[in-house]
């Protein structure tokens, strides 16, 4: 292990480190919001069950046919409710982003995918079985009956088929075989699959028949989900892009293939972006405009401009170093909870690998801490292949932060974020940063590396709420 | 999820589901009760209800049985109303039953009585539960025997029954009709 | 007890026995009764299996072959086979022992022919009831003909009275009770789920054949026939429960 500990701390006299254990005020506020959202989400499931029960559903389990039908109805209600929750999670609602961050929201979104699909599949299977039993025909005949005689059923079956396809393409294995854009396009079909399922819910679903209060609740639910998607995924990004008129101001080479891009525009303070957040950028240049990329801010945003530091990653983003001054940029964002808002503790440890240094660099500028209460760890193969290290060194000097660059190859066959010799010597995050318990740990790097750091921190006894990370692929 | 959130979410969910359950129970209870839409009256109660004339294909015996039960309940309640309003006896009135849930839809009937006799049972609604389409068909669906019995006094000139023999003819209603015709 | 329509008291019932049953007629012109009787007797002579000397009995015994049978018998057999096809074999002009039995259509054909003869004679208001198969004719302004449907569990009572009006001016009722083997069951030996089935149709042959077929074929046949033909049906299940098509519910 090559350890480059730069003398960035002001003075060496140990500052009386505050042993503050009370939660950071931002944490309390955030968790109140998170609690409310989670309760709302669970309650929405309870409400659909209540709708079923309010209709006298509890009395409808007398015969096998009734039981199948009733279970099928409940499965459909809960499954659809979860689908709507998934859509809301993916709609980039500001409160959700503030409470959980984009990453965690998407993780929940993904984890709901399979349960929702199973419930919807169960809904179809149970109802077909229930109806078949009631009419004393086989399930194939009943499926055909439903398909041909019930209103809006062909559409509903189409939705079911689409949904199965979406979940399959979303499975990680398959996802890697597709281009991101193709996978994303398939994923957009999710909206279609949810839409085509609506008519049969209203025409076939007795619970939601005309005049029922449940029908209006259901329609209101859809209306809210649809409007949040339209507003926050489409209208808001478009109006923001038009309003702030971002253009490329300068492109500075940082290293081969890595550039810092500075953007200017109007009224950038109104964006309310903060250090550590990311935007989904679209550069309106030849060969680039059709792709959108999530890149984190690499310096604190100001009304004068925004800066990102990016590395070309094998696709069109390789052309980013050739961007011309004045190129129009549209964007979605800012997103993410890799910010001061996630704080819980008085001390800060910032850990980065590769291009993950970008959000760490911006955080370092604005995160609050007393001098001496922050550490920056940069992990690289060799001391030379780090990005923005001069800027980091300067910032650390100014703010009284210890900066350590840990270089060296990882051992093969062992899952660790540290070099081979460090592992051999029993070095861990805790031995590098003794004050870990009273620290918020921000980690940004490639996915497997980040996961290794998180495991190290967790095994050091650090609670989840103090660990914040942002991962990228490749 | 924090423990506090779990606790609150559980509490909220239990309350919501509990309210749903309560409403469901009330809906079932309500089907046992009745409201009189006109003043008190007297009833002798052989009552019937009917599924809608346009009733759907899949209405089975069970739906009709449910409806019958509903109407029976209607009659029972109406009798109770009569007891409490004895001074208004022998008036005519129309009673509207509560909405009754059946496997195939919500059903509601109104019963018209005059001088202690039921003269009309009108289906008010039959919504389409379970999705069986109502417009497919000319399919035969269950009806209640008493519904057609009401038409018994209508004047008929012919009787149709399962084929009767020439010997059976003398005992048949047709024979009575033919004789009465002279 | 049903009462006779007062409006028809000027049109008294005339009866005669034929085909093992009794035909009841109501005619404006009492002289026409001979015409109707002639038609019925001719059909009976030719097609009754109860008469040893009928053409059909001779075919059943093998005295003559079907190819040697009369044109009218072959036409009648063809019609029965046509109905056999239209009902997917539920209605059949053969007894279980293979003998040709046209009784399922003969009575109806006789009623139809008698009705046509009355109409041809210029008579507009009449009803023919042959053993419960009823065909009526009435011109506008004439009081409506109504038919009562017998309650199979109490043959002295009615379960319905139904006006016979254009276009459904014929009704036939089949049952699984009276005349025991009258209907060969198509339900693999299972008893019919219906005690009685009444079919209202535009012509008496359709009404008669489909009533027979529905008793024999059960609920499946009932549903198929109500879908495919312009008929109304009132069926009585074994447990006494009634099934009716929407058209009947409106008229009842």
The answer to whether the bond into C167 is cis (omega within 30° of 0) is yes
Rg (CA), chain A: 26
CA distance B72 to chain C (A): 17
Determine what percent of chain C is predicted with pLDDT higher than 70: 87
- Contact state of C226 with B140 under an 8 Å Cβ cutoff: yes
Q: pLDDT digits over B3-51, tens only?
A: 889 999 999 999 999 998 888 887 666 544 433 333 333 232 323 333 3
Q: What value of ipTM does the predicted structure carry?
A: 0.82
- Provide the pLDDT confidence category of residue C146 given band limits of 50, 70 and 90: confident
State residue B33's pLDDT score. Answer: 43
| Cα A173 versus chain centre, distance | 19
Please tell me which chains touch A, using 3 or more CB pairs under 8 Å as the contact test.
B
What's the pLDDT at B129?
33
Please tell me the least confidently modeled range out of A170-184, C40-54, C140-154.
A170-184
Shortest CB distance from C5 goes to which of B143, B155, B163? Answer: B155
pLDDT at A205: 75
- Stated as kind and residue range, the H or E segment containing A135 is helix A94-135
User: Tell me, what DSSP letter sits at residue A338?
Assistant: -
- Compute the count of residue pairs across chains B and C with CB atoms less than 8 Å apart: 214
Answer yes or no: do A42 and B28 touch at CB < 8 A: no
Which two three-digit tokens encode residue C128? 């023919």
**What is the least distance, in Å, from the CA of C109 to any CA of chain B?**
16
End-to-end CA gap in chain A: 24
Tell me the sheet residues that pair with A444.
Answer: A352, A470
Q: Which residues of chain B neighbour A49 with C-beta distances below 8 Å?
A: 16-17, 20
Query: What is the full per-residue pLDDT of chain A (474 aa) written as tens digits?
Result: 556 655 454 443 344 444 444 567 778 888 899 999 999 999 999 999 999 998 877 877 878 888 898 899 999 999 999 999 999 999 999 999 989 888 889 889 989 988 999 999 999 999 899 888 877 788 898 888 788 777 788 999 999 999 888 878 777 655 566 666 777 777 788 889 999 999 988 877 777 877 778 889 999 999 999 999 999 999 999 999 999 999 999 999 888 888 999 999 999 989 999 999 999 999 998 888 888 888 999 999 998 899 999 987 666 667 888 889 999 999 998 998 899 888 888 899 999 999 999 999 999 999 988 888 899 999 988 777 788 888 988 888 888 888 888 888 888 878 889 888 888 878 888 888 888 888 999 999 998 899 999 999 999 889 988 999 988 875
- Identify from B1, B10, B13 which residue to disrupt to test chain A contact, counting A C-beta atoms within 10 A and taking the largest count: B13
B178 contact C CB<8A: yes
CA atoms within 13 A on the CB side of B121: 33
Cβ C149–B171 below 8 Å, yes or no? Answer: no
Q: Which of A322-331, B58-67, C76-85 has the highest mean pLDDT?
A: A322-331
Query: Which of A112-126, B67-81, B87-101 comes out lowest in average pLDDT?
Result: B67-81
CA–CA distance, B135 with A205 (Å, rounded to integer)? 16
Q: Find chains touching chain B: ≥3 CB pairs under 8 Å.
A: A, C
Sign for the CA dihedral angle at A202, A206, A208, A213 comes to positive
> What would you report as the CA-atom Rg of chain C, rounded to the nearest whole angstrom?
18
C152/B153 touch (CB, cutoff 8 Å), yes or no? no
From chain B, pick out residues whose CB is under 8 angstroms from the CB of C137. none
User: pLDDT-based confidence at B98, cuts 50/70/90?
Assistant: low
Rounded Cα–Cα distance for residues C126 and A425 (Å): 115
B146 touches chain C (CB under 8 A): no
Q: Which residues of C touch B178 (CB under 8 A)?
A: 13, 15, 24
What does the pLDDT look like over B137-181, one tens digit per residue? 567 777 766 555 444 445 778 888 876 677 777 777 888 777 776
Is the minimum CB–CB distance between B12 and chain A shorter than 8 Å?
yes
Q: What is the pLDDT of residues C235-252, one digit of tens each?
A: 998 888 888 887 776 554
Please report the pLDDT score of residue B73 as a whole number. Answer: 47
Distance between CA atoms of residues A403 and A375, nearest Å: 6
Number of H helices, E strands in chain A: 15, 12
| Binary contact (C145, B155; C-beta < 8 A) | no
Chain C interface test: which of B161, B169, B178 (most C C-beta within 10 Å): B161
Place of tokens 């004045």: A326
Residue C9 confidence (pLDDT): 55
Check C132 against B176: CB less than 8 A apart. no
Angle CA A139–B141–B33, to nearest 5: 100
- pTM flag (> 0.90): no
For residue A134, give both structure tokens. 């009631």
The confidence band for B115, taking pLDDT boundaries of 50, 70 and 90, is low
Q: By CA distance, what is C197's nearest residue in B? A: B162
Chain A residues with CB under 8 Å of a chain B CB are 31, 34-35, 38-39, 42-43, 45-47, 49-60, 66, 69, 131, 134-135, 146, 149-151, 200, 203-206, 209
Contact between C161 and B151 using a beta-carbon 8 Å cutoff? yes
Instruction: Yes or no: say if C138 and C125 are a contact pair by the CB < 8 Å rule.
Output: yes
Judged by CB atoms closer than 8 Å, whether chains meet at A150 and B133 is answered as yes
Identity of the residue in B2, B10, B20 whose CB atom sits nearest the CB atom of A31: B2
* Confidence band, pLDDT 50/70/90 cuts, at residue C178: very low
What band does C220 get if pLDDT is binned at 50, 70 and 90? confident
CB within 8 Å: A55 and B27: yes
Beta strands in A154-245 (DSSP E): none
Q: Please tell me whether residue B33 adopts helix, strand or coil conformation.
A: coil
- In the 3-class helix/strand/coil scheme, how is chain A assigned residue by residue? CEEEEECCCCCCCCCCCCCCCCCCHHHHHHHHHHHHHHHHHHHHHHHHHHHHHHCCHHHCCCCHHHHHHHHHHHHHHHHHHHHHHHHHHHCCCHHHHHHHHHHHHHHHHHHHHHHHHHHHHHHHHHHHHHHHHHHCCCHHHHHHHHHHHCCCHHHHHHHHHHHHHHHHHHCHHHHHHCCHHHHHHHHHHHHHHHHHCHHHHHHCCHHHCCCCHHHHHHHHHHHHHHHHHHHHHHHHHHHHHHHHCEEEEEEEEEECCEEEEEEECCCHHHHCCCCCCEEEEEECCCCCCCCCEEEEECCCCCCCCEEEEEECCCCHHHHHHHCCCCCEEEEEEEECCCCHHHCCCCEEEEEEEHHHHHHHHHHHHHCCCCCCCEEEEEEECCCCCCCCHHHHHHHHHHHCCEEEEEECCCCCCCCCCCCHHHHHCCCCHHHHCCCHHHEEEEEEEEHHHHHHHHHHHHHCCCCHHHEEEEEECC
At residue B181, the 3 state secondary structure works out as helix
Query: How many Cβ pairs within 8 Å bridge chains A and B?
Result: 99
Instruction: Answer yes or no: is pLDDT of C136 > 50.
Output: yes
Instruction: Give the closest residue to A358 by CA, choosing from A277, A292, A419.
Output: A277
């Amino acid at each position: 292990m090559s350890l480059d500990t730069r003398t960035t701390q002001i003075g060496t006299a140990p500052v009386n480190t505050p042993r503050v254990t009370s939660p950071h005020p931002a944490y309390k506020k955030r968790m109140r919001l998170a609690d409310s959202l989670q309760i709302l989400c669970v309650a929405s499931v309870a409400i659909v069950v209540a709708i079923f029960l309010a209709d006298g559903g509890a009395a409808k389990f007398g015969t096998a046919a009734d039981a199948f039908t009733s279970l099928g109805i409940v499965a459909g209600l809960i499954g659809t409710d979860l689908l709507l929750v998934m859509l809301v999670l993916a709609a980039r609602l500001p409160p959700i982003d503030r409470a959980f961050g984009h990453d965690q929201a998407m993780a929940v979104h993904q984890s709901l995918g399979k349960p929702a699909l199973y419930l919807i599949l169960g809904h179809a299977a149970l109802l077909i079985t229930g109806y078949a039993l009631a009419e004393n025909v086989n399930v194939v005949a009943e499926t055909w009956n439903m398909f041909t005689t019930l209103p809006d059923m062909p559409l509903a079956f189409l939705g079911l088929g689409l949904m199965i396809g979406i979940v399959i393409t979303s499975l990680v294995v398959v996802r890697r075989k597709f281009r991101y854009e193709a996978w994303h396009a398939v994923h957009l079909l999710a909206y279609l699959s949810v839409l085509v399922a609506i008519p049969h819910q209203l025409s076939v679903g007795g619970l939601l028949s005309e005049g029922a209060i449940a029908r209006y609740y259901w329609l209101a639910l859809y209306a809210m989900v649809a409007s949040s998607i339209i507003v926050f995924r489409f209208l808001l990004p478009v109006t923001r892009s038009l309003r702030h008129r971002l253009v490329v101001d300068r492109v500075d080479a940082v290293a081969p293939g890595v550039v810092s891009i500075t953007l200017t525009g109007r009224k950038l303070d109104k964006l309310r972006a903060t250090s550590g957040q990311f935007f989904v950028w679209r550069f309106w240049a030849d060969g680039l405009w059709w792709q959108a990329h999530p890149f984190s801010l690499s310096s604190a945003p100001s009304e004068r401009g925004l800066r990102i530091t990016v590395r070309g990653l094998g696709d069109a983003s390789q052309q980013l170093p050739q961007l011309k001054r004045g190129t129009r940029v549209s964007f979605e964002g800012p997103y993410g909870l890799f910010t001061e808002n996630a704080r819980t503790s008085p001390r800060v440890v910032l850990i980065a690998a590769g291009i993950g240094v970008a959000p760490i660099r911006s955080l370092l500028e604005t995160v609050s801490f007393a001098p001496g209460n922050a550490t920056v760890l940069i992990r690289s193969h060799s001391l030379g292949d780090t990005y923005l290290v001069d800027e980091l060194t300067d910032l650390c000097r100014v703010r009284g932060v210890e900066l350590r660059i840990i270089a060296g190859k990882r051992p093969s066959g062992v899952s660790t974020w540290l070099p081979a010799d460090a592992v051999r010597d029993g070095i861990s995050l805790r031995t590098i940063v003794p004050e870990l318990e009273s620290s918020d740990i921000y980690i940004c790097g490639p996915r497997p590396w980040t996961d290794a750091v998180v495991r190290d921190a967790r095994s050091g006894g650090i609670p989840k709420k103090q660990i914040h990370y942002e991962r990228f692929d490749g | 999820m924090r423990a506090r959130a779990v606790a609150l979410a559980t509490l909220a969910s239990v309350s919501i589901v509990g309210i749903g359950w309560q409403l469901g129970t009330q809906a079932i209870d309500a089907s046992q009760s009745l409201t009189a839409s006109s003043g008190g009256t007297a009833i002798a109660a052989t009552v019937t209800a009917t599924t809608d004339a346009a009733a759907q294909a899949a209405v089975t015996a069970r739906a009709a049985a449910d409806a019958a039960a509903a109407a029976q309940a209607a009659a029972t309640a109406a009798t109770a109303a009569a007891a409490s309003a004895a001074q208004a006896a022998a008036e005519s009135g129309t009673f509207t039953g509560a909405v009754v849930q059946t496997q195939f839809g919500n059903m509601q009937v109104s019963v018209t009585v005059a001088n202690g006799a039921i003269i009309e049972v009108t289906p008010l609604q039959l919504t389409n539960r379970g999705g069986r389409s109502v417009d497919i068909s000319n399919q035969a669906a269950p009806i209640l025997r008493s519904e057609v019995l009401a038409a018994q006094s209508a004047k008929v000139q012919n009787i149709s029954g399962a084929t009767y023999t020439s010997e059976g003819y003398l005992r048949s209603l047709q024979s009575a009709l033919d004789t009465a015709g002279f | 007890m049903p009462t006779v329509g007062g409006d028809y008291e000027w049109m008294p019932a005339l009866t005669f026995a034929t085909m093992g049953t009794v035909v009841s007629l109501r005619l404006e012109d009492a002289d026409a009764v001979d015409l109707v009787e002639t038609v019925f007797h001719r059909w009976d002579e030719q097609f009754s299996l109860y008469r040893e000397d009928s053409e059909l009995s001779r075919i059943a015994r093998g005295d003559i072959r079907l190819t040697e049978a009369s044109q009218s018998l072959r036409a009648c057999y063809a019609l029965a086979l046509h109905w056999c096809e239209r009902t997917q074999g539920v209605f059949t002009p053969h007894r279980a022992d293979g003998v040709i039995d046209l009784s399922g259509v003969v009575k109806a054909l006789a009623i139809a022919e008698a009705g046509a003869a009355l109409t041809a004679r210029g008579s507009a208001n009449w009803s023919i009831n042959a053993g419960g198969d009823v065909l009526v004719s009435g011109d506008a302004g004439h009081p409506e003909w109504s038919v009562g449907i017998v309650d199979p569990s109490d043959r002295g009572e009615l379960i319905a009275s139904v006006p016979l009006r254009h276009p459904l001016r014929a009704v036939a009722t089949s049952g699984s009770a009276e005349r025991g083997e009258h209907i060969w069951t198509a339900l693999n030996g299972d008893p019919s789920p219906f005690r009685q089935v009444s079919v209202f149709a535009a012509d008496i042959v359709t009404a008669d054949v489909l009533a027979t077929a529905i008793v024999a074929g059960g609920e499946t046949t009932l549903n198929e026939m109500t879908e495919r033909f312009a008929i109304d049906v009132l069926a009585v299940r074994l447990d006494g429960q009634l099934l009716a098509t929407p058209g009947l519910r409106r008229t009842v």
